[in-house]
A = this chain, B = another copy of it.
């Protein structure tokens, strides 16, 4: 799954900041990949990229029109289709992270075929994967794992990649979710592959590499999430990580989407992930802990991270507030 930059980010008529997470992610981490955003009347949110028409975006070199939002049900609203067609007519490929497929809409399919342009439904991987073989491979890999879904695994992974590049590491970010794939320009939507191939897809995403090369693999879900733990485990086994970074968000009283489920402790999360990781990499260790401290102030955030550092004898940081250098120091 390879996506051609630069992008025009289509926000539709989104009114909720969370619903444009995909567009915001690429605007934050790869503004150089974006020429601007297109918002429809009624849209109340912004990535803070310049507003732009499809024609202007094309004139500025845009190659791909990105449906950068999510809605309940993941449907493609008929009112968006004319914009998709206009983008195709202007010569742009289309990317969607919605459940509905672009390729299921005849008008879109025909316009793309007529222009020889790509329709990329990120949530419907077309690749054929093999089942995992579990054979140890060269190169080094780090996987971010979480106490829950949506605790900052992608942001932590990207912060690690960025800082490691600055420190001269040979490193690649390996994306496993829609937003990450848009940022990386490639990857596998791991929760969308057929169950038999989760670990196999994870192996193919982070293949054998130079001995000192690092893959920083974006984690998904949580071993403690009753709906998605299977995805997390297959990803973990296929990644064969040398290092794990535990990601956690302060202030969660229940698992995401499941008000009756308590989040696990950091300690249990370390134990569970390490035990599972050792099946395919007995040398796996914990490199650090990344906390999303956005619910508290700077001072409290620092105190909490210091306390966790002392408790686990592992570097603990909020990647966005403190950077990740303390974690990188443990990688070699």
Q: Among A31-39, A44-52, A132-140, which stretch is in contact with chain B?
A: A132-140
A199 at the interface (CB under 8 A from B): yes
Q: How far is the CB of A1 from chain B (nearest CB, A)?
A: 16
Q: Contact between A194 and B196 (Cβ–Cβ < 8 Å)?
A: no
A195 cross-chain contacts in B, Cβ below 8 A: 190-195, 198, 230-231, 234
A228 cross-chain contacts in B, Cβ below 8 A: 131, 196, 199
Whether A224 touches B279, Cβ cut-off 8 Å, given contacts A229-B233, A231-B196, is yes
- Give A193 to B226 CA distance when docked, in angstroms: 16
A280 at the interface (CB under 8 A from B): yes
A40 at the interface (CB under 8 A from B): no
A237 cross-chain contacts in B, Cβ below 8 A: 226-227, 229-230
A315 at the interface (CB under 8 A from B): no
- Give A34 to B332 CA distance when docked, in angstroms: 62
Whether A230 touches B227, Cβ cut-off 8 Å, given contacts A134-B260, A195-B192, A196-B191, is no
Interface residue total, chain A, C-beta cutoff 8 A: 39
Q: How far is the CB of A247 from chain B (nearest CB, A)?
A: 19
Whether A199 touches B224, Cβ cut-off 8 Å, given contacts A193-B194, A258-B134, A260-B134, is no
Report the copy number of this chain in the oligomer.
2
A310 cross-chain contacts in B, Cβ below 8 A: none
- Give A154 to B119 CA distance when docked, in angstroms: 42
A200 at the interface (CB under 8 A from B): yes
Q: How far is the CB of A173 from chain B (nearest CB, A)?
A: 21
A258 cross-chain contacts in B, Cβ below 8 A: 133-134
- Give A71 to B37 CA distance when docked, in angstroms: 51
- Give A60 to B12 CA distance when docked, in angstroms: 60
Q: Which of B194, B199, B224, B261 lies in contact with A226, CB distance below 8 A? A: B199
A223 cross-chain contacts in B, Cβ below 8 A: 233
Q: Contact between B226 and A280 (Cβ–Cβ < 8 Å)?
A: yes
- Give A296 to B192 CA distance when docked, in angstroms: 43
Measured CB to CB, the nearest residue on chain B to A196 is B191
A residues near B (Cβ < 8 Å) are 131-135, 190-196, 198-200, 223-224, 226-235, 237-238, 255, 257-258, 260-261, 272, 275-276, 279-280
Q: List 5 A-B contacts (CB under 8 A).
A: A135-B260, A198-B231, A199-B228, A229-B276, A230-B231
Sample of 20 more A-B contacts, CB < 8 Å, known A191-B195, A199-B229, A233-B233 = A131-B227, A131-B257, A132-B226, A132-B227, A133-B227, A133-B258, A191-B194, A192-B195, A194-B194, A194-B195, A195-B230, A198-B231, A199-B227, A226-B237, A226-B279, A229-B233, A229-B279, A230-B232, A230-B233, A231-B234
